[in-house]
Chain A
Amino acid sequence: MASPARLELSGITKRFPGVLANDAVGFAVKPGEIHALLGENGAGKSTLVKMIYGIMQPDAGEIRWNGQRISVANPKAARKLGIGMVFQHFSLFEAMTVLENIALGMDAKIPARDLESRILAVMGQYGLKLEPHRIVSTLSVGERQRIEIVRALLLNPKLLIMDEPTSVLTPQEVDQLFTVLRKLAQEGCSILYISHKLNEIKALCDTATILRGGKLVDTCDPAVETSRSMAEKMIGGSLKDISRAAGRSFGAAKLAVKALSLPADGPFGTALRDISFTVRAGEIFGVAGVAGNGQNALLLALSGEATNANPASVTVDGVDVGHLQARARRGHGVASVPEERNGHAAVPIFTLADNAVLTARDRLGMVRAGLIDTKAARTYAGEVIEAFSVKATGPSAMAESLSGGNLQKYIMGREILQKPQVLVVSQPTWGVDAGAAAAIHQALVDLAATGSAIVVISQDLDELLSLCDTLAVINGGRLSPPMAVAEAKIDEIGLLMGGIHGEVAHAH
């Protein structure tokens, strides 16, 4: 008889009010197997692993562990079984040291000195570099993830769940992570790897289970599938490519940034240092970089939320706007979409129509004599909903009632339909499913085709490479020289992204 699977799920069902998050999902993970769990946002991947890790309980179905039927009451019970998890959003404590953070993740009481030597042993074994006494807030995202991994490895897991581990890493850090995961798998640890990055899954995983709308679509071998065939299983339809006119040429410089500097906002912010670039009419300019390297500050400096003493630091069509506030800059045709949807780009407890008034009131004349033209606002909100196929009950729907992806489509539409001269967007497709992301990308390309200049700040390198004409990398608040995307090399971009943290030296 063959040895039982490390983990076997059958008929797992979980229902939330109004949604069936998991509908009779079943698959098995063998010892030492790297198993991908693939699906769009909202496909039910996170819910499923939360049940395996004991954060939630399934409504029906059974979980078998080495052939034994089990119920996982809480994360502590999961860890006792040998299930470790590295979360997408790290559960770290910024003001504490690496050592304290790891100690918090341990169930057994281990004296600090023993713990430190065990941490050093695990780090040496897997080539994970960390300084135990550093404060977490001073670490890069890749280093933070290593804390989580070390924390999980100290428990000698038999199954390690990784929830979208690479979304914030540089290409070099991704390579390092894969080396660790392969080594673990060789030693017999099973890995459940959640991602929607198909090329990574092809490179790393032995098996892929694809979820769509809470249902199991397929379990396949990523080596024989193509990225495209898996993507189509994920979205349940055929994938559209971005279409753009061939042989486009760019017009005159529209947005020019000259020697822009901005002090750091708070103890954990990043200062901008001497940033210069130019975006021409019709050009899409991408800003790549690992989170926390000044992207937020750059968006604020361009949108006008952060003003600059030097008016010439930002110019639009030759007009100095560096000293102007966001509203005045909107008057010059600058629109922006910040990264945080709820609370920054939109007010959650306002209707979509009211949210339209907040940024479109001047350009589209929605306020007369200090009074809101409700009808104009509702009409415009309706147009955005229609044009961007936003799933909402109408202009009176509350912004908070929309799913993340739909709200993002609405916010992007609200800015794009104002036909801005310059559009600055941050993470345009974060948490948006592949279909909606394609629609947003197409809308940006179409806007550029009308002669607008567009700046896209994103951590998703694939997105930037497929969308942008020109690309620069931000690191530690400095911007690299721009390069044409057609000539850019991934390795080079990766090295620029890793810049300040000294990862370059030991990347092979």
Chain B
Amino acid sequence: MGIDFIIAAIITVVGLTTPILLAGLGELVVEKSGVLNLGVEGMMLVGAISGFAVTVYTFNPWFGVLGAAAGGALASLLFAVLVLQLNSNQVATGLALTIFGTGISSLMGLSFTGRIVMPFASVFPDALAKHEYLRLIFGYSPIVYFALIMVPLTTWFLKSTRAGLILRAVGENDLSAHSIGYSVIKVRYAAIAFGGAMAGIGGCYFSMVITPMWAEKMTAGRGWIALALVVFAGWRTGRLLTGAYFFGILMALELYAKASGFSFLPSQFWAAMPYAMTVVALSFISSRGTAGANAPACLGKPFLPST
């Protein structure tokens, strides 16, 4: 096992981590505003096909990423209208969004199946991006850097800006925020749309960077892992980054177990690991006490102001 192998392994882990990191950051902001959107998987798929389609037509992956963000946000707004305006149950509506997103992305993708685009490659000169060692730092798609920049940005937004303070207040006690004079509904719309856009960008990483082509259900359950990640991280951005890499390593183990057969356990065991960890993390949702007091107090509750 040489240095090449280690570099390749790290690059694999970064690639696997990026989509769940993006979607997880988005969902963290959504949940901090008091909304539980279980439709991450659906929004990622819509983002994947939107980004791919826009790239096919414009030949410009940058527009593709914008298209993916727009697609994910649009899908999330459907959820937002139902949940915020009509007070539908957030869990059921989120699940419906995943089913809807899976279906609509397959439909939209019919005419794109089998087509390929130029992968959204590094913006750095080849001397850096393809360098034997430096590719460890410069060899990624711009989406990877975007995801990494978004971690401190989101932390800063939530902790140090007034808008972030209001967002947390809305998630902590929606009725109080309302009585002080903040628009709970507007804040939640914005948060949900941001979550949708981030999930969309996370989704397009599959169709524009990893493969790069469109295939049905290509996100393969990563949306659920992103959801689990938020709980796993205790709604803290720093831990979300750590958690995302932890899941990324688990997923990479599966690939390497399959490819090199180094493991005495069947590769299916490694394939199941991230999902098993997802189940473990999601079980924390039902036991708030262990998930830490950092969980937004209004998470998943509809906003029903008295007259």
Residue B30, interface by CB 8 Å? no
What secondary structure prevails in chain A residues at the interface with B? loop
B162 within 8 A of A: yes
Return the chain A residue nearest B175 by Cβ: A91
Of A92, A103, A109, the contact of B176 (CB 8 Å cutoff):
A92
Asked if B180 and A91 make an inter-chain contact with CB atoms under 8 angstroms apart, the answer reads yes
Q: For B168, give the chain A residue with the smallest CB separation.
A: A96
Contacts of A137 in B (CB 8 A): 293
Contact call A94/B297, Cβ cutoff below 8 A: yes
Q: Check if A104 sits within 8 Å of B289, measured CB to CB.
A: no
Task: Indicate whether A283 reaches chain B with its CB closer than 8 angstroms.
Answer: no
Q: Contact at A75–B180, with CB atoms within 8 Å? A: yes
Q: Are A267 and B172 in contact (CB under 8 A)?
A: no
Known contacts A94-B173, A96-B172; is-contact A75 B181 (Cβ 8 Å): yes
Q: Is the CB of A74 within 8 A of B173?
A: no
User: Is the CB of A499 closer than 8 A to any CB of chain B?
Assistant: no
Are B172 and A74 touching (Cβ within 8 A)?
no
Asked if A266 is an interface residue, CB under 8 A from chain B, the answer is yes
Bound complex: CA of A87 vs CA of B166, how far in Å?
Answer: 19
Interface hub of A103, A104, A267 (most chain B Cβ within 10 A): A104
CA A92 – CA B173 in complex, angstroms? 8
- Docked Cα-Cα span, A137 to B172, in Å, equals 12
Q: Is the CB of B169 within 8 A of A93?
A: yes
A92 to B180, CA, bound (A): 10
Q: In whole Å, how far is B251's beta carbon from the nearest beta carbon of chain A?
A: 33
Residue among B177, B294, B297 making CB contact with A104, cutoff 8 Å? B177
B181 engages A93 (CB within 8 Å): no
Q: Are B172 and A93 in contact (CB under 8 A)?
A: yes
What is the bound-complex CA distance between A107 and B182, given in angstroms? 10
- How many angstroms from the CA of A76 to the CA of B294 in the assembled complex? 30
Q: Which chain A residue shows the least CB distance to B179?
A: A91
Q: Decide if B165 is an interface residue (CB 8 Å cutoff).
A: yes
Which residue in chain B gives the minimum CB-CB distance to A266?
A: B289
A109→B162 contact, CB < 8 A: yes
Query: How many cross-chain pairs have Cβ atoms below 8 Å apart between A and B?
Result: 51
Size of the chain A interface, CB-CB below 8 angstroms: 23
Closest to A87 in B: B179
- Once the chains are docked, how many angstroms separate the CA of A75 from the CA of B305? 15
Task: Report the Cα distance A91→B174, complex, angstroms.
Answer: 9
A69-92 interface code vs B (CB 8 A; 1 in, 0 out): 000001110010000000100111
A77 and chain B: residue at smallest CB distance: B181
Taken together as a complex, chains A and B put the C-alpha atoms of A104 and B178 apart, in Å, by 11
Smallest beta-carbon distance A396→chain B, Å: 26
Contact between A104 and B175, CB atoms less than 8 A apart: no
- The secondary structure that dominates the B interface is helix
Q: Using an 8 Å CB-CB cutoff, how does the interface string of B281-307 with A read, 1 for contact, 0 for none?
A: 000000001000110010000000001
| Distance between B287 CB and nearest chain A CB, rounded to angstroms | 11
Instruction: Report the minimum CB–CB distance from A164 to chain B (whole Å).
Output: 15
CB distance from B229 to the nearest CB of A (A): 21
Q: How large is the interface on B (under 10, 10 to 19, 20 to 34, 35 or more residues)?
A: 10 to 19
Is A173 located at the chain interface by the 8 A CB criterion? no
Residue numbers in A under 8 Å from B181 (CB-CB): 74-76, 79, 107
Chain B proximity mask over A356-377: 1 for CB below 8 Å, otherwise 0:
0000000000000000000000
- A223 interfacial contact with B, CB 8 Å: no
Q: Smallest CB–CB gap between B186 and chain A, Å?
A: 14
**Which A residues are in CB contact (< 8 Å) with B162?**
103, 109
- List residues of chain A with CB within 8 A of the CB of B172: 93-96
B contact residues around A95 at 8 Å (CB): 172, 293-294, 297
CB within 8 Å of B: which of A256-314? 266-267
Decide yes or no whether A460 CB sits under 8 A from chain B: no
Contact partners of B176 in chain A: CB under 8 A: 90-93
With contacts A93-B172, A95-B294, A103-B162 taken as known, whether A267 is within 8 angstroms of B289 at the C-beta atoms is yes
B179 touches A104 (CB 8 A): no
Chain B positions 97-155 with a Cβ under 8 Å from a chain A Cβ: none
Q: Which A residues are CB-close (under 8 A) to B297?
A: 94-95
Chain B residues within 8 Å of A109, by CB: 162
Inter-chain contacts of A92 with B (CB < 8 A): 173, 176
In the complex, A79 Cα to B176 Cα: how many Å? 16
Question: A40 near B: Cβ within 8 Å?
Answer: no
The closest CB in chain A to the CB of B292 belongs to: A267
CB contact list, A297-347 vs B, under 8 A: none
Please measure, in the bound complex, the distance between the C-alpha atom of A93 and the C-alpha atom of B167, giving whole angstroms. Answer: 12
Q: Which residues of B contact A107 (CB under 8 A)?
A: 181
**Chain A residue with Cβ nearest B172:** A93
Q: How far is the CA of A242 from the CA of B166 in the complex (A)?
A: 50
Binary contact readout A101-143 vs B (1 if CB under 8 angstroms, 0 otherwise): 0011101010000000000000000000000000001000000
A241 to B182, CA, bound (A): 46
Contacts of B175 in A (CB 8 A): 91
Partner of A93, one of B173, B289, B293, B294: B173
| Chain A min CB distance to B163 (Å) | 10
A55's nearest neighbour on chain B, judged by CB, is B179
Contacts of A33 in B (CB 8 A): none
- Contact residues, A210-247 vs B (CB, 8 A): none
Task: Find chain B residues with CB under 8 A from A93 CB.
Answer: 168-169, 172-173, 176-177
Please indicate the chain B residues that have their CB under 8 angstroms from the CB of A75 in the complex: 179-181
Q: How far is the CB of B54 from chain A (nearest CB, A)?
A: 37
Q: Which residue of A lies closest to B293 (CB)?
A: A267
- A162 CB to closest chain B CB (Å) equals 15
> Bound state CA distance, A113 and B260, in angstroms?
57
Q: How far is the CA of A76 from the CA of B180 in the complex (A)?
A: 8
Closest to A151 in B: B180
A137 to B169, CA, bound (A): 14
B239 to chain A, nearest CB (A): 17
CA distance A95 to B307 in the complex (A): 26
Name the residue in B173, B180, B294 with the highest tally of chain A Cβ atoms < 10 Å from its Cβ. B180
16 CB contacts below 8 A, A to B, read A16-B307, A55-B179, A76-B181, A87-B179, A91-B176, A92-B173, A93-B168, A93-B172, A94-B297, A95-B297, A96-B168, A96-B169, A103-B162, A103-B165, A104-B182, A109-B162
Given contact pairs A75-B180, A92-B173, A100-B169, a sample of 9 additional A-B residue pairs in the complex whose CB atoms are under 8 Å apart: A76-B181, A91-B179, A93-B172, A95-B293, A96-B168, A96-B169, A103-B162, A107-B181, A267-B293
Residues of A within 8 A of B (CB): 16, 55, 74-76, 79, 87, 90-96, 100, 103-105, 107, 109, 137, 266-267
Interface residues of B (CB under 8 A from A): 162, 165-166, 168-169, 172-173, 175-177, 179-182, 289, 293-294, 297, 307
Give the 10 A-B residue pairs with the shortest CB-CB distance, closest first: A91-B176, A93-B172, A75-B181, A91-B179, A76-B181, A93-B173, A104-B169, A93-B169, A267-B293, A95-B172
